[in-house]
Structure 1
Amino acid sequence: MHGRRAAAPGPVRLQPRRSGPTRAAHSSPRAGSRAPLSPQAPEPRAPRRAHTGVLRPAFSAVAMTFVGSMMIATSVPALAVTASDPEHRASVYAPVADDSISLRPQALEVASEAELRPLTTDGYAVEAAPPPIVSQVAGLGSVAVIESDLIVWPVSNPEKRASGFGPREAPCSGCSTYHDGVDFNPGNGAPVMSIADGVVVLATENGGGLGVNVEVQHNIGGELITSSYAHMQYGSLAVSEGQRVSAGQQLGLVGSTGQSTGSHLHLEMFGADGVRFDGFAWLSTHVS
C-alpha cells in the first residue's frame, strides 16, 4: 500500500506574554448574564509585577548579611573584635604558657653593731623518773603504779560532810561505832572522782556493806596508798579493774547502796599495811 506522508509541521511562532491582563476577544457580557465557559479556554492567571524579580535577590542578600553578622557577634569574644585598641592582645581563651610562680629567696639583714651569741647548753640536767611501785593484787597479779604529782578532792564540794574519821555513835543497826572513813555530802548523783593517778584494783556493785565500791592504788611520793569509794549508785561505775586512771577522772556517782542511811560518799584511805587513816586530814595537806 502506498500512502501519503503527513505534512511536516511548520515553524512555531512564540507569542510574547503580556504583563497586563488579557483582554477577552469579545466584549464583556452584560450585567446579570454569565459568559459560557469554554472547556478549552485557560484559567486566568494572577497578574505579575514587573519589579518582583529585582527585589528578591536584594532582600536575600540583606538577610544573609544580617545572619552572618549575628553569628560573628555571638561566637567571637568581645576582645577579638574590638577595634579601638591598636595594641595586639592575646585571646582570653588562649592557654597560659607558664603558670609557675617564682619566689625570691628571703634574707635577713643584721646591723653591724648587733652581737650574736651562741646558745649555751650548760646548766641542764636530766633526771630519771622514779621507778613505779609494783604491788600484788588478787585477780590482777603484779600491778605497776606510777608516781602521781597531782592530788584533788574526790567531790566538787568537800566542805559538805556528815561523819568524820574515828569514834562515833552507830547511825544504824549493823553500823560500826568507829568510822574508818569520812562521809561527803555533795548530793545524790554528784560525780565521784579519783584523788590521784593510779590503777583500779577493785570495781564492783556487790561490795557488801560498802555497796557499789571502787578501789584505786596510788603512788604518792614513793608510798603506796589506796583510796576506796563506797555507797555509789548502781549502774554508775565508769571504770573497770586493771584500768589506769588520772587525777580527777570520774569513777561513779554518789548514791546510797550497801549499809547507808542516805546518799553520800564514804571515802576510806589506807597504806600498804591496810591500816585506815583520816582521809580528810590527809587530803587537806596534799591537795595541789
Structure 2
Amino acid sequence: MTSFPQRGRRAAISTPAPATPPRRRRILPRFDARQTFSVIAMAFTGGMIVATSVPALAVTATDVEQRASVYAPVEDTVSFTPQTVEVGSEAVESTLASEAYDVHEAPPPIVSQVASVGAVSLVETGAVVWPVQNPDRRSSGFGPRDAPCAGCSTNHDGVDFNPGDGTPVVSIADGVVVLATENGGGLGVNVEVQHNIGGQVVTSSYAHMQFGSLQVSEGQRISAGQQIGLVGTTGQSTGPHLHLEMFGSDGVRFDGFAWLAAHVG
C-alpha cells in the first residue's frame, strides 16, 4: 500500500544544522629570557651612567638644607690643660756638675808597602772575629807535630780548623786584601789580608779553600766577618779544612788560635 502525504501539511524536511566554524587558537608570544635579561641589563647600565656622570654637587643642588662645605677647614677645638708639678718646701735645688770630656783625633792609618798591590793604607780596627763557625773543631795546632803526609811540615806554621767542607771563611778583622790566588802552591786557594790592630800591622792568611769560591780580589778593602771563600782541600792537604796563618810586619808566624782567643769579642 502506497502512502501519500496528506494534503494541507508539509512534509517535515530534515535540514542539516549549519556547521560551527572552527575555533581559532590564540597564539601567545614566546617568552625569551635572553631578551628580558638584555633589557634589564641596559636599564641598569643606563642608571649607572646617569649616577656616575652627574656630579655630586649637581645631585645635591636641590638640597634646601644649609650644609657645611667638605672643603671648608675644620676648627680645632682640642684644648689642653697645662700640667703642673708640686714640689715640697723641703726640696733643695742643686746644680748638676758638668762632666769633662776630651776630644781625641783618630789615629792615622798605617801605610804598608806590598809588592803585589803597592802602598796599602790600613785604618785601625777594634773588631776581631773567628774565621769560621765552630772554631773549637781543630785537627792540628801551631808548632811541632808529626807530619800528616809526605811533604807536610813537622813544624806547623798555622792552625787547622775543621768546621766542614764548604763552610764559609770570613776575614778576622777589617783590612785590605793583599793576595787572592787559586795557585798558592802547597797552600792551594789562598787569601792574605793585612790589618791594623792596636796600631800594629797583622796579616792573616787563609789556605786550602775551594776552587772557584773566592769572594774578594787583591786591593779590595773588606770588613770583619766578610766572606772571602769556602773551606776546601786544595794544595798540600789531607782533607777539607782551613789552614790559618798569622804574622806581623816581620813575617814571623805566631799561634793564631791563641791570638784570636785573646782578641775576639
TM-score, structure 1 length as denominator? 0.64
Where does the alignment leave 5 or more consecutive residues of structure 1 unmatched? 1-73, 82-87
Aligned partner of 2:160 in structure 1 is: 183
**Contact 2:160–2:244 (8 Å) recurs in 1:** yes
In the TM superposition, structure 1's runs of 4+ consecutive aligned residues that sit over 3 Å from their partners are: 74-81, 94-97, 99-122
Instruction: Please tell me whether residue 111 in structure 1 is matched to residue 85 in structure 2.
Output: yes
Residue 99 of structure 1 corresponds to which residue in structure 2?
A: 73
State the partner residue of 2:225: 248
| Partner Cα separation in structure 1 for residue 103 and residue 200 of structure 2 | 23
1:157 aligns to what? 134
Give matches, 1:56-67, under 5 Å: none
The equivalences for 1:29-48 within 5 A come to none
Aligned partners of 1:106, 1:125: CA distance in 2, in Å?
44
Q: How big is each residue's C-alpha offset from its partner over 1:222-278, in whole Å with a ceiling of 9 and x where there is no partner?
A: 111100000000111111111111111111000011111110000000000000011
Match of 1:173 among 128, 150, 161: 150
Residues in 2 aligned to 1:267 and 1:154: alpha-carbon distance in whole angstroms: 8
CA–CA distance in 2 between the matches of 1:107 and 1:226? 66
Q: How much does 1:139 deviate?
A: 2.7
Alpha-carbon distance in structure 2 between the residues aligned to 1:268 and 1:121: 49
Counterpart AA for 1:248: G
Structure with higher Rg: it is 1
Residue 112 of structure 2 is aligned to residue 138 of structure 1: no
Q: CA deviation at 1:142?
A: 1.3
Encode CA deviations 1:55-103: one digit per residue, 9 max, x unaligned: xxxxxxxxxxxxxxxxxxx99858946xxxxxx5236xx9656336668
Structure 1 residues 97 and 205: alpha-carbon distance in aligned structure 2, compared to 1, 3 A threshold: closer
Instruction: State the shift of 1:118 in Å.
Output: 8.2
On the 8 A contact 2:128/2:224 being kept in 1, the answer is: yes
Identify unmatched segments of 5+ residues in structure 2. Answer: 1-50
Structure 1 CA distance, aligned partners of 2:150 and 2:177?
31
For each residue in 1:109-142, what CA deviation from the matched residue of structure 2 results, as whole angstroms up to 9, or x when unmatched? 4436499988865422212222211110113221
Q: C-alpha displacement at 1:198, in angstroms? A: 1.1
Secondary structure class of the residue paired with 2:140 = coil
Aligned to 2:102: 125
Aligned equivalents of 2:138 and 2:85: distance in 1?
A: 68
Quick check: 1:280 aligned with 2:257? yes
Establish whether residue 219 from structure 1 lines up as the match of residue 196 from structure 2. Answer: yes
For residues 173 and 195 of structure 1, what CA distance do their matches in structure 2 show? 31
Q: Give 3-state SS (helix, strand or coil) of 1:202's partner.
A: strand
Deviation at 1:214, TM superposition (A): 0.6
Identity of paired residues, percent?
A: 64
SS in 1 for 2:138: coil
8 Å CA contact 2:116–2:179 kept in 1: the answer is no
Q: TM-score, normalised by structure 2?
A: 0.69
Deviation string, structure 1 residues 179-214 (Cα, Å, up to 9, x no partner): 100100000000111111111111111111111101
The RMSD of aligned alpha carbons is: 3.1
Letter in 2 for 1:111: V
